[in-house]
A and B are shown apart, each in its own frame.
Chain A
Amino acid sequence: MDGLVQLQKQLVDYTASLFHEGFLDEQFNQLQQLQDESNPDFVVEVVTLFFEDAERLLNELSKTLGQPSIDFKKLDAHVHQLKGSSSSIGAQRVHRVCISFRNSCEEQNVEGCLKNLQQVTHEYSLVKSKLETLLRMEQQILAAGG
């Protein structure tokens, strides 16, 4: 039982640090509150969808920015999608970069867009790794009888 309590404390602390560092915001709490007996895997499902969606969009963004003539409308449409998804799951830092990214698209600022793509890719990989850790910790707790 001691091991379980330790794990639970670690999870609470880890989650708190993610909020504190701005990786996650209140919307992530909303997601966790939606998980219940009828939907015990809700958070994992939504987060997994987010990962798939984000990776697809990052690929599209990269492709679109790699074209000889950049289609800024298309770029903006993809960023808009990523902005929406990240906001809906509470991935705050990804969401924030998307806001800058949309401004760069509007200004048709190629350098700005390239920089934003780099930033959003970086923020995404950070939040992905942190969410995977968080979900792994939750699994461990469940396995330990929590």
Chain B
Amino acid sequence: MAAPSSSMHQHDLPHVLAVDDNLIDRKLVEKLLRNSSCKVTTAENGPRALELLGLTSGGQNSMNGRSKVNLVITDYCMPGMTGYELLKKIKESSVMKEVPVVIMSSENIPTRINKCLEEGAQMFILKPLKQSDVKKLTCQLMN
């Protein structure tokens, strides 16, 4: 989980939840987001992400509502719960459905992209992620 930077007021920064089963990609997306002045929490799978968002019954919400999530960015291809399934669960919840969800994928498959956009994903980004991608999405989605 992200360690707060001492030079910034953490509660003023947008808070992003980044979900990816790949360790390298998690580290990369975290750094890219921090460079765009975001507070970042990472999760390695859908169920953990739902826990952190407080969307599982009886689950531990380790963010305890003190740090509202402003954006969820998730990988599409994950074992168990895919990014698409996570998107659906978020959009189905009364509490979190307004939160923008961005899907990332290494594969440029139009039917996949359309499926996600139709389900309410705000954006679909191709991997590997670059700084310009992340700057664009934070500008567009959190201002």
Contact = CB atoms under 8 A, between A and B. Distances in A.
Contact of B127 (A33, A46, A84): A84
A39 B40 CA distance: 15
Contacts of A42: 31
B60 to A, nearest CB: 27
Contacts of A53: 22-24
Given A30-B130, A80-B77, A85 B27 contact: no
Q: Range of interface residues on chain B?
A: 10 to 19
Contacts of A27: 128, 130
A49 B27 contact: yes
Given A87-B106, A88-B127, A88-B128, A46 B35 contact: no
A34 B128 CA distance: 14
B106 A83 contact: yes
Nearest to A34: B31
B95 interface: no
A111 to B, nearest CB: 26
B79 interface: yes
Interface residues of A, number: 23
Contacts of A109: none
Given A39-B31, A77-B79, A83-B106, A50 B128 contact: no
B5 interface: yes
A17 B129 CA distance: 24
B32 interface: yes
B25 interface: yes
Contacts of A34: 28, 31-32, 35, 131
Contacts of A69: none
A59 to B, nearest CB: 16
Contacts of A50: 24
A38 interface: yes
Interface in A74-104: 77, 80-81, 83-85, 87-90
A71 interface: no
Interface of B: 5, 21-25, 27-28, 31-32, 35, 77, 79, 106, 127-131
Minimum-distance CB pairs A-B, first 6: A85-B24, A88-B128, A27-B128, A87-B128, A84-B22, A34-B31
28 contacts: A27-B128, A30-B130, A33-B131, A34-B28, A34-B31, A34-B32, A34-B35, A45-B27, A46-B27, A49-B23, A49-B24, A49-B27, A50-B24, A53-B22, A53-B23, A53-B24, A77-B79, A80-B77, A81-B21, A84-B22, A84-B24, A84-B127, A85-B23, A85-B25, A88-B22, A88-B25, A88-B28, A89-B24
